[in-house]
Amino acid sequence: MVAEFDESDESRRPRRRYRSRVRQERAERTRAHVIATAGRLFADHGYAGTSMRRIATEAGVGLETVTQTGRKADLLLAAFRTGLAGDSDTVDITALIGGFPSGGAGLAGALATATARLADGLRDSLGIWRAFTAAAMSDETVAAARAELAAMRRREITAWLETSAFADVPSQDATSRERLADTIGLLTSHEAYDHLVTVCGWPHDDFAPWVTAAILDRLDPSSRPTPP
């Protein structure tokens, strides 16, 4: 009897693990769908104009499913991360561009590739960023998340400039390095993209080359690529 029980128990275990895996994958797909729906609504109607119930209705799920995914502010942040980097759990610019390029002779080419990828992320997340910015003016939770994202970007860029690859960049004392990091942060921001592309009418494809040239000019004017 013991042997039969053990054999039966063992035969059930793989199926139980399989069902658990399927359930987890289904939950992850539902979460991604809810976040994507929330992001579209936030971008189209703003933070204040998007309710949790509306997200549930548009996503075709119950309100409880939406609330289990997170609070409204959580959904906004997750939607922004997804729009910018394609991952609701990614918050840093490094993950988006695949790491900051190393210095040296190949810096210009590597930076051009990175800024092109960044420009696409800025374009794809611009609507949700506007909602994010507007929500930060009235929601303390969103404001704190936005401030942390800005601080994180500054830390990442500053750390990049502190690497040995840029030891020969002029004026690399702590204060000037922070100012340089802030300048690069502005050049690679949603605000810069929105102003130049949306307001001024620049073609999307012109943004990344401009950012590359501007960053190289700030790092070292002699490193700018020679115009054809």
Q: Domain coordinates of the chain in residue numbers?
A: 2-223
Q: Which CATH class is domain 2-223?
A: mainly alpha
Q: Residue 163, by phi and psi: left (phi above 0), alpha (psi -120 to 50) or beta?
A: beta
Least trusted range by pLDDT, from 2-16, 21-35, 101-115, 171-185 = 2-16
Is pLDDT at 217 greater than 60 in this prediction? yes
Contact 119, 208 (CB under 8 A): yes
- The C-alpha atoms of residue 171 and residue 128 are separated, in whole angstroms, by 37
Who has greater pLDDT, 151 or 3? 151
pLDDT tops 60 at residue 107: yes
% of the chain at pLDDT higher than 90:
29
Lowest mean pLDDT among 43-57, 66-80, 185-199: 66-80
Mean pLDDT, to the nearest integer, of 81-101? 60
| Across 8-17, 156-165, 199-208, 212-221, least confident range | 8-17
User: In the chain, what percentage of residues exceed pLDDT 70?
Assistant: 73
Q: Can you tell me the mean pLDDT for 81-110?
A: 62
In three-state secondary structure terms, 3 is helix
Confidence (pLDDT) at 3: 47
**Over residues 23-28, mean pLDDT:** 84
198, amino acid identity: T
Residues 6+ apart with CB under 8 A from 149: 91
Q: What is the mean pLDDT of the chain?
A: 79
Return the pLDDT at 198. Answer: 96
